[in-house]
Structure 1
Amino acid sequence: MELHAQKNKLKILIIDDESPIREVLSESLRDDGYEVMAAADGPSGLEVLKSFQPDICFLDIWMPKMDGLEVLTQAVPLHPNTSFVMISGHGTIETAVKSTKIGAWDFIEKPLSLDKISIAIDHIVRLKGEREEKNALLNKLRKTIALVGESAGMQKTRESVTVFAKNNVPVLIEGEVGSGRELAAQNIHFMSPRASGPFAEINCCTLPQDLIEIELFGIEKGTLPGIDKTRRGKIELMNGGTLLIEEVDEMPLVLQEKLVAFIRQGKFKRFGSSDELTSDVRLVLTTTASAAKLKADGKLTADLAQILGQSSMTVPPLRERPEDIYSLVVHFSDIAAKQMASLRKTISEQGMKLMLKHSWPGNVRELKNFIERVYILTPSDFVDVHDLRFAGLVDKKSTAVSSSAENSEFSTFREARAEFEKEFLIKKIQENGGNISKTAEAIGLERSYLHRKIKAYGIEVSL
């Protein structure tokens, strides 16, 4: 919306005990196309505020029945959409500061300059336009990152997100890979007062351990060969925003102690520097286990475990909330249909039953990737069981494991599971052309974990 169009819709209230000021200012603002009302004192001004609901209120400070600061104190909580501009012929710095703290937008001294009045209105209109645009974008974003599902587990997750979004303490999000921990972290950020600030993430599982410190805290110019300029870390770059640290238990213990020092003091040093820096960044961390268990296993320092143990939440795996599968299928179908500019596909009743029976070991991430495959591989708008199987979904009757078990090729369950895992990984790696990163994403595993499995099973990967 253009600035001129926004301004012509503005409603302005003038509260001032001096009649000439009310009349001249009202007439001038009406000539500019604004809807204007005026009040001669504080009490009547408060009544007009209720009925008129102005966008802007020019409020005199020195008035007989009730001064402007008292009017401001009462009005700000009741009229959050009104911008108050204080006007006074006897203003002081102390009065201006006090009115700003109460909630005033600006302070203009008498004798009033119509140019200053016009500038103040322009600034308010621009700010409100930016806020409305930003809120619209945030609301759109919040819908796209919604935590879908009405199960008890997801309701508890949303409640935890709401609670943690209101404060600024570090949060530990526990849960399996692919369960939606990153989504919960994004919700905490975009539901918090930091929503307009930056958001970034670091994955300690995929980064080489000697680079984690540099990614977090930055590095000073000349510290290492090839570092020809100072590089700021995520903690510095995310000032005013949120930093997600994934798989914090993969972070070296020595570095965990540095992170603890930053959490407690708000200060840090770039790698290779002795200068202390500060950053106002909110930390959200993820793991696959509780802080207490990670401490017992030697994966977390006692100090970090204590800090994170005080504010933690859990995102349940998909197998514990099968009642959410249908809602998730609809949600991911809407996204896939929009991305591919197609109609949303209808899945048959038997197809949905097959999907509900599946354990989804890769959790929500696996389901999302599977729905995308269905949309790519199924030309029809109707999806039946054979379409789901063609896209990669199998039930117990059609797995290689059951066939192998019937032939008694394995003496133990562990051997049968290992053989199935090996065959499954070989098949998926081949499907992705030997690309390990794409394979890991497709089946809902961390890349480093997939590498360990490949090594353990002696799988040869050829590009």
Structure 2
Amino acid sequence: MVATVLVVDDEKNIRRTLRMVLEGSGFNTLEASSAEQCLEMLRQSEVDLIILDIRLPKMSGIEALQKIRSEPDTRKLPVLMVSGHASVAEAVQAVQLGATDFFEKPLDRDRVLVTVRNALKTWQLQREVEQLRADVEQRYEMIGESPVMRELFAQLEKVAPTSGRVLISGESGTGKELIARAIHRLSPRAGKPFVKVNCAAIPAELIESELFGYERGAFTGAQGRKKGMFELANGGTLFLDEIGDMSASAQAKVLRALQSGEISRVGSERAIAVDVRVLAATNKDLELEVKEGRFREDLYFRLNVVPIVSPPLRDRSEDIPLLAKGFLREFCEANGLREKPIDDEVLEALVERPWPGNVRELRNVVERMAILSGDRITLDDLPEEGVLSEGRRESAPPSTVPRGLGKTGERPTLREYRSRAEKEYILQTLDEVGWNISRAANILGVERTNLHKKMRSYGIRREET
């Protein structure tokens, strides 16, 4: 795409010279003889860069630059200031007001072309970065109008501007990471790094080196110095996802970092100061984990300054149509597909489902329908529910106690019942996907590492089927 340059100068010969130089190098040009004409042309035409003379009749170039920078559509537009007799004070003022560059008359052809090309290249890169940032923010945008979501948004607006630590709890697939990203985006640290660490996905023997970094020779394979997540997040936000799966030794080091604001790389005793806001998330009952000795009480209190609960989808079922349409639109855009209409009957059926995998499961179902449906999504495209579906509940009502639970002749405790139901659900899902762990984890709405842990804890092995 050919860039368009607006040349603003009251001298006709200067405008003519710049037009010949620029058009000879492949640029389109527009001309204005005054600041007033320049501002009017910006409202009417698409311009990629402005070459603006400082000394103009009536409104000066400096005043025009102020107006250009005050308009949302032109605030970031590259502006090159030109003058044959500007004072140093005027040049400094132009730069302070946001001039991209400054050069003097008589104009040098090569200098003009290099400056214009560099300014346009920088402008293009800035727009690409902004677009990428907008795409990321759209992907992590939180959707919902239900009372529970309005209450959550109100909480986020209060906690985000502060430096307080936040512990986000909730079931898998409810959007805990979205909450963490929203807090970061609304905070004074928004322009700094947001670093996510999945504590469940990193082996216990590597978690410390990942969090705090290491020095060369700290262990076998440490061939060079590496910064840890705390250092990478310096000035920004560190999100510790699945904090309940962190090893005891790593918990102790995280506690020290939170207390002192300093960390030490593995293999070094030198303290490194870090300025990090820590957000943590878990799908576990951390209070229970503390009582049973699996999580440090002092770390729990350090993290749980502001507790936020990520609501399950069943508590916000009125948001399901909005979420489904949003996921469908996003998927079609990302895959170059024409957006498909979705029948009201499908949305009503989605609202009635229990969604044990929460928002993540809903997204998977919507994407599956988008892929396999025709020109529109109908009830025929809606996949059948798995275990815990309405059909399953009809054949096994909630009052039915799974076999093998509880002591002989006694009803099971709620915890025992949940454990057995969860084990049966995992087994059934594994059977349905031919024991493909990745597909099963995707359907269940959990990380593969978490599914492996569940299987080990329940003693699930393939021979059971």
Same fold (TM over 0.5): yes
Counterparts of 1:167-206 in structure 2, within 5 Å, are 173-186=168-181, 200-206=195-201
Shift in Å, 1:55: 5.0
- 1:211-252, CA deviations, whole angstroms, 9 ceiling, x for partnerless residues? 222112321111112222333334455678765321335443
Tell me which amino acid in the other structure corresponds to 1:201. K
Find the counterpart in structure 1 of residue 258 from structure 2.
260
Give the whole-Å Cα distance in 1 for the aligned partners of 2:111 and 2:382: 71
> 1:258 and 1:149, CA in 2 relative to 1: closer, same or farther beyond 3 A?
same
Matched, 1:431 2:426: no
> 1:449 and 1:70, CA in 2 relative to 1: closer, same or farther beyond 3 A?
same
Counterparts of 1:289-308 in structure 2, within 5 Å, are 298-299=296-297, 301=299, 304-305=302-303
Give the whole-Å Cα distance in 2 for the aligned partners of 1:67 and 1:229: 57
Q: Percent identity?
A: 30
CA contact under 8 A between 1:253 and 1:299: conserved in structure 2? no
Shift in Å, 1:36: 1.5
Find the counterpart in structure 2 of residue 100 from structure 1.
95
Counterparts of 1:239-278 in structure 2, within 5 Å, are 243-251=238-246, 252-260=250-258, 264=261, 268-273=263-268
Tell me which amino acid in the other structure corresponds to 1:223. A
3-state secondary structure, aligned to 1:231: coil
Matched, 1:24 2:24: no
CA contact under 8 A between 1:138 and 1:190: conserved in structure 2? no
Matched, 1:147 2:130: no
Give the whole-Å Cα distance in 2 for the aligned partners of 1:113 and 1:340: 46
CA contact under 8 A between 1:366 and 1:442: conserved in structure 2? yes
Counterparts of 1:416-455 in structure 2, within 5 Å, are 416-436=417-437, 438-446=439-447, 450-451=451-452, 453-455=454-456
Shift in Å, 1:321: 0.4
Tell me which amino acid in the other structure corresponds to 2:216. K
Counterparts of 1:58-69 in structure 2, within 5 Å, are 58-59=51-52
Give the whole-Å Cα distance in 2 for the aligned partners of 1:181 and 1:127: 36
Counterparts of 1:339-358 in structure 2, within 5 Å, are 344=340, 349=345, 353-358=348-353
CA contact under 8 A between 1:200 and 1:234: conserved in structure 2? yes
CA contact under 8 A between 1:29 and 1:36: conserved in structure 2? no
TM-score by length of structure 2 reads 0.72
- 1:98-124, CA deviations, whole angstroms, 9 ceiling, x for partnerless residues? 543331211224444233222222222
TM-score by length of structure 1 reads 0.72
Find the counterpart in structure 1 of residue 310 from structure 2.
315
CA contact under 8 A between 2:218 and 2:267: conserved in structure 1? yes
Question: What is the CA RMSD across the aligned residues, in angstroms?
Answer: 4.9
Find the counterpart in structure 2 of residue 76 from structure 1.
69
Give the whole-Å Cα distance in 1 for the aligned partners of 2:131 and 2:337: 23
Shift in Å, 1:317: 1.7
Which of 370, 376, 379 in structure 2 is aligned with 1:383?
379
Tell me which amino acid in the other structure corresponds to 1:27. R
CA contact under 8 A between 1:55 and 1:81: conserved in structure 2? no
CA contact under 8 A between 1:354 and 1:385: conserved in structure 2? no
3-state secondary structure, aligned to 1:441: helix
Unaligned runs of 5+ in 1: 40-44
Give the whole-Å Cα distance in 2 for the aligned partners of 1:423 and 1:139: 42
Shift in Å, 1:34: 1.2
Give the whole-Å Cα distance in 1 for the aligned partners of 2:40 and 2:336: 49
Give the whole-Å Cα distance in 2 for the aligned partners of 1:237 and 1:418: 39
> 1:346 and 1:64, CA in 2 relative to 1: closer, same or farther beyond 3 A?
closer
Which of 7, 16, 38 in structure 2 is aligned with 1:12?
7
